[in-house]
């Protein structure tokens, strides 16, 4: 059964492309435009076609495409994080790994249980699961695209050499995923960072702006995390209820075809209603997922990236203060003074550079966040209204028929 989906054709219709990158309100400009024009789902990986249009002289052509996989996006993201020059910027969060495991498992279970249900039920469920698979697929494409668009929109990051290689080099980048040792190193680095984070954030900031931002981000991040989890659970319950409508519709249909009294017409009509209303309920769940859950998940990642920026700034402040102390000591002992002076200057410059760009980044973050929430909340409300009205119409017309019958 998986074969039908494996050598996938172009899953992305024209209209879908306009709807993507919804979580970020970006000024796209002619100098550099990036999007994911196509994607293919294979057995255990997804292949994204990254399409670039640029008038910049850095590229050999004005328009070109390459094929990239998830690991290569991660490589690019990590190269930004590890680059000291970018310490003062919010690094756009990496897209999450495409995860079709749950969906695949369900499709497999369906295949195994084929004998135990009616042909009609089986077809219904298969369609449902395929739609689910497609939805997950579209989401992962959107998330990878948002990452690239954020980089392309950033005045500094868009000039990054690795980014250009990523966009242009039409061979495999051969970025192996991190091996065990490297993953362990990462783990320890993160541990140290969070331990550090606790110590460092204890220091009250002289600068009001950053002090406020730190307090704000710490709380905001936790609340977004909670809201994201609860939104997820709500959306999934919605989907379960929609699935129940499916089974109820099938049962009513069976009752209707078997019944010899004139209530059979009733059953058949109501079965039809449940089938239709179920599709709407499933769409409600999917739209809530897209406009609410995904939005919150995205800002969970972004607020983490913003926190990371604050941490880097705090770290550089500590380094600066330590360099000052070292300089005083050196002057007192009158030993290695020049070395200490240079070191102190470097730290000072680094700190000031980070502070300056961080301020702007955090202001931009707020602007983006407000715009994204506005867009998504408006669209959420509009879609909820659309679906409720659709549902209402279905129900009322069904009632009209049934009441006319009695």
Interacting residue ranges for another protein, rule: CB under 8 A:
212, 216, 219-220, 223-224, 226-227, 230-231, 233-234, 236-238, 240-241, 244-245, 247-248, 251-252, 254-255, 258-263, 266-267, 270, 273, 277, 366, 369-370, 373-374, 377-378, 380-382, 384-385, 388-389, 391-392, 395-396, 398-399, 402-403, 406
H/E run at residue 274: helix 263-288
Rounded-to-integer distance, Cα 387 and Cα 390, Å: 5
Closest approach, Cβ 125 to another protein, in A, equals: 14
Closest approach, Cβ 271 to another protein, in A, equals: 10
Closest approach, Cβ 287 to another protein, in A, equals: 12
Burial of 144 from C-beta contacts in 10 A (0-12 / 13-18 / 19+): buried
User: In the chain, what's the furthest Cα-to-Cα distance?
Assistant: 107
Best CA proximity match to 217, nearest among 311, 84, 351: 311
Rounded-to-integer distance, Cα 135 and Cα 117, Å: 25
Residue written as token pair 């969060």: 93
Nearer to another protein, 29 or 382 (CB): 382
Closest approach, Cβ 215 to another protein, in A, equals: 10
Q: What angle do CA 13, 62, 95 make, to 5 degrees?
A: 50
Closest approach, Cβ 94 to another protein, in A, equals: 23
Are 298 and 292 in contact by the 8 Å Cβ rule? The answer is: no
Nearer to another protein, 72 or 213 (CB): 213
Closest approach, Cβ 383 to another protein, in A, equals: 9
Residue 37: how many CB atoms within 10 A of its CB? 16
Sheet with 46-54: list strands edge to edge. 32-41, 46-54, 63-68
Closest approach, Cβ 117 to another protein, in A, equals: 11
Rounded-to-integer distance, Cα 153 and Cα 147, Å: 10
Dihedrals φ, ψ of 205, to 5°? Answer: -80, 140
Rounded-to-integer distance, Cα 289 and Cα 196, Å: 35
Closest approach, Cβ 216 to another protein, in A, equals: 5
Closest approach, Cβ 163 to another protein, in A, equals: 31
Rounded-to-integer distance, Cα 288 and Cα 401, Å: 32
Nearer to another protein, 160 or 288 (CB): 288
Nearer to another protein, 156 or 263 (CB): 263
Nearer to another protein, 94 or 242 (CB): 242
Running DSSP on this structure, what letter comes out for residue 7?
A: S
Nearer to another protein, 74 or 110 (CB): 110
Rounded-to-integer distance, Cα 271 and Cα 251, Å: 8
Best CA proximity match to 175, nearest among 92, 79, 254: 79
Nearer to another protein, 51 or 369 (CB): 369
Closest approach, Cβ 252 to another protein, in A, equals: 7
Measured N-to-C along each axis, helices 70-82 and 119-153 cross at an angle, to the nearest 10 degrees, of 30
H/E run at residue 68: strand 63-68
Alpha helices in 289-336 (DSSP H): 294-333
Rounded-to-integer distance, Cα 219 and Cα 303, Å: 10
Nearer to another protein, 94 or 125 (CB): 125
Closest approach, Cβ 181 to another protein, in A, equals: 39
Best CA proximity match to 122, nearest among 250, 238, 267: 250
């Amino acid at each position: 059964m998986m074969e039908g989906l494996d050598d996938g054709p172009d899953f992305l219709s024209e209209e879908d492309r306009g709807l993507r990158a919804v979580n970020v309100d970006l000024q796209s400009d002619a100098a550099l435009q990036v999007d994911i024009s196509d994607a293919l789902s294979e057995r255990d990986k997804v292949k994204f076609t990254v399409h670039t249009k640029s008038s910049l002289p850095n590229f050999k052509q004005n328009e070109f495409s390459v094929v990239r996989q998830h690991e290569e996006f991660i490589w690019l993201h990590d190269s930004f994080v590890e680059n000291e020059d970018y310490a003062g910027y919010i690094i756009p969060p990496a897209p999450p790994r495409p995860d079709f495991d749950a969906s695949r498992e369900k499709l497999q279970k369906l295949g195994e249980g084929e004998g135990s249900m009616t042909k009609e039920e089986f077809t219904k469920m298969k369609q449902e699961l395929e739609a689910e698979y497609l939805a997950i697929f579209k989401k992962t494409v959107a998330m990878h695209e948002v990452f690239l668009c954020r980089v392309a929109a950033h005045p500094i990051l868009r000039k990054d050499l690795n980014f250009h290689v990523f966009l242009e080099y039409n061979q495999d980048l051969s970025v192996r995923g991190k091996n065990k040792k490297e993953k362990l190193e990462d783990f320890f680095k993160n541990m140290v960072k969070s331990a550090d984070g606790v110590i460092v954030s204890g220091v009250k900031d002289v600068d009001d702006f950053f002090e406020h931002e730190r307090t704000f981000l710490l709380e905001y991040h936790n609340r977004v995390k909670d809201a994201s989890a609860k939104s997820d659970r709500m959306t999934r319950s919605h989907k379960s209820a929609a699935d129940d409508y499916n089974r109820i519709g099938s049962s009513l249909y069976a009752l209707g075809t078997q019944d010899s009294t004139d209530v059979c017409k009733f059953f058949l009509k109501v079965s039809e209603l449940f089938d239709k209303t179920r599709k709407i309920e499933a769409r409600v769940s999917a739209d809530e997922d897209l406009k609410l859950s995904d939005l919150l998940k995205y800002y969970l990642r972004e607020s983490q990236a913003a926190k990371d920026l604050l941490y880097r700034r705090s770290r550089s402040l500590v380094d600066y203060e330590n360099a000052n102390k070292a300089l005083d000591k050196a002057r007192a002992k009158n030993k290695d003074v020049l070395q200490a002076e240079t070191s102190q200057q470097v730290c000072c410059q680094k700190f000031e550079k980070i502070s300056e760009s961080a301020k702007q980044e955090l202001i931009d973050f707020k602007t983006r966040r407000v715009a994204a929430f506005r867009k998504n909340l408006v669209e959420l409300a509009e879609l909820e209204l659309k679906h409720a009205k659709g549902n209402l119409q279905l129900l009322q017309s069904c009632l009209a028929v049934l009441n006319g019958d009695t």
